[in-house]
C-alpha cells in the first residue's frame, strides 16, 4: 500500500476505534494557545494543573498575562515544567499580540495563513508544532500538526524514515487531504491518543494496536 492510501486507511481505523476527539480541550482560543505553549515536551496531565492555576487566578486572557509579573506567572505554571522558560514564552506571545494586533486574537486570526505562520515562528518559544497547533486549533486554519508521535507511529509502521523533517512529513500528509480543517483536527488528535495508549516509546503494545494488521 502506498503512503497516501495508508494515511486514509489509518484515519478511518482510528476514527472508528477511538471516536471523534473534539480537540482542542479548552474554553477559548486564548486558552488553547496557552495550552499549546505549556504542553511542549510535557504530559497534558501536568498542563491541566497549570491551566487550573491560571484559571483560578483569572489569568486566562491576554490582558491579565500582560500585567502579571513573569516570576509570579512562572510560579503558577510550575506543574507544567520548564516554568521559567514557559513564563517567558507566554509573555513573549502576549507581547507579540499587543504589539501587532492590539491584544486581540480576532484581529490576529484575520491574517492569511502563510503570513501569520511566519509571524508566529518569529515569536520566542513558538516553533513549528506550536505555531501549527495555534493556527489549526485556535484559528481554524487548514494546517496539519506534526509531532513526535506522528513521526513515531508512521515510522514504526514503515511508511516514513524516522529522521524525516517536520515540513516534509507535513507536506506529505497535507497532500492526501488538501485544506481540510476537520480532518486535520481529528487526525492529529487521534494519533496522539494512539501513541499514548499503544504506540508508546518503550514497551509499545503492538499486539493490541488497532492499526496493526492481524
Return residues touching DNA (CB under 7 A): 23-25, 35-36, 39-46, 49, 78-86, 123-131, 133, 137, 147-149, 192, 195-196, 200-203
Q: How far is the CB of 78 from DNA (least distance, A)?
A: 5
Q: Which is nearer to DNA, 4 or 200 (CB)?
A: 200
Could you give the angle at the alpha carbon of 168 between the alpha carbons of 33 and 135, nearest 5°?
A: 20
Q: How far is the CB of 148 from DNA (least distance, A)?
A: 4
Q: How far is the CB of 69 from DNA (least distance, A)?
A: 16
Contact between 53 and 77 under an 8 Å Cβ cutoff? The reply is yes
Of the chain, the end-to-end C-alpha distance in Å amounts to: 16
List the one residue out of 133, 182, 144, 119 whose CA is nearest residue 34. Answer: 133
Q: Which is nearer to DNA, 10 or 36 (CB)?
A: 36
Q: How far is the CB of 96 from DNA (least distance, A)?
A: 11
Write b or e for each residue in 145-162: b if 16 or more Cβ atoms lie within 10 A of its Cβ, otherwise e. bbbebbbbbbebbebbee
List the one residue out of 162, 133, 168 whose CA is nearest residue 25. Answer: 133
List the one residue out of 116, 111, 185, 102 whose CA is nearest residue 144. Answer: 185
Q: Cell numbers of 118, please?
A: 511566519
Q: How far is the CB of 1 from DNA (least distance, A)?
A: 26
Amino acid at each position: 500500500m502506498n503512503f497516501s492510501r495508508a494515511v486514509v486507511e489509518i484515519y478511518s481505523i482510528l476514527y472508528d476505534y477511538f471516536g471523534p476527539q473534539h480537540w482542542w480541550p479548552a474554553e477559548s482560543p486564548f486558552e488553547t494557545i496557552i495550552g499549546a505553549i505549556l504542553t511542549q515536551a510535557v504530559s497534558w496531565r501536568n498542563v491541566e494543573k497549570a491551566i487550573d492555576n491560571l484559571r483560578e487566578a483569572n489569568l486566562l486572557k491576554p490582558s491579565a498575562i500582560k500585567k502579571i509579573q513573569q516570576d509570579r506567572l512562572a510560579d503558577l505554571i510550575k506543574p507544567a515544567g520548564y516554568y521559567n522558560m514557559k513564563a517567558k514564552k507566554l509573555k513573549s506571545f502576549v507581547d507579540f499580540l499587543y504589539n501587532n494586533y492590539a491584544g486581540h486574537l480576532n484581529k490576529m486570526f484575520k491574517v492569511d495563513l502563510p503570513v501569520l505562520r511566519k509571524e508566529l515562528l518569529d515569536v520566542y518559544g513558538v516553533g513549528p508544532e506550536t505555531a501549527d497547533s495555534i493556527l489549526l486549533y485556535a484559528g481554524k486554519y487548514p494546517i496539519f500538526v506534526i509531532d513526535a508521535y506522528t513521526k513515531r507511529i508512521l515510522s514504526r509502521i514503515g511508511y516514513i524514515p524516522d529522521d524525516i523533517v517536520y515540513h516534509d512529513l507535513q507536506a506529505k500528509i497535507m497532500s492526501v487531504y488538501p485544506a481540510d480543517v476537520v480532518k486535520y483536527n481529528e487526525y492529529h488528535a487521534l494519533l496522539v491518543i494512539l501513541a499514548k495508549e499503544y504506540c508508546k516509546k518503550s514497551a509499545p503494545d503492538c499486539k493490541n494496536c488497532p492499526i496493526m494488521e492481524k
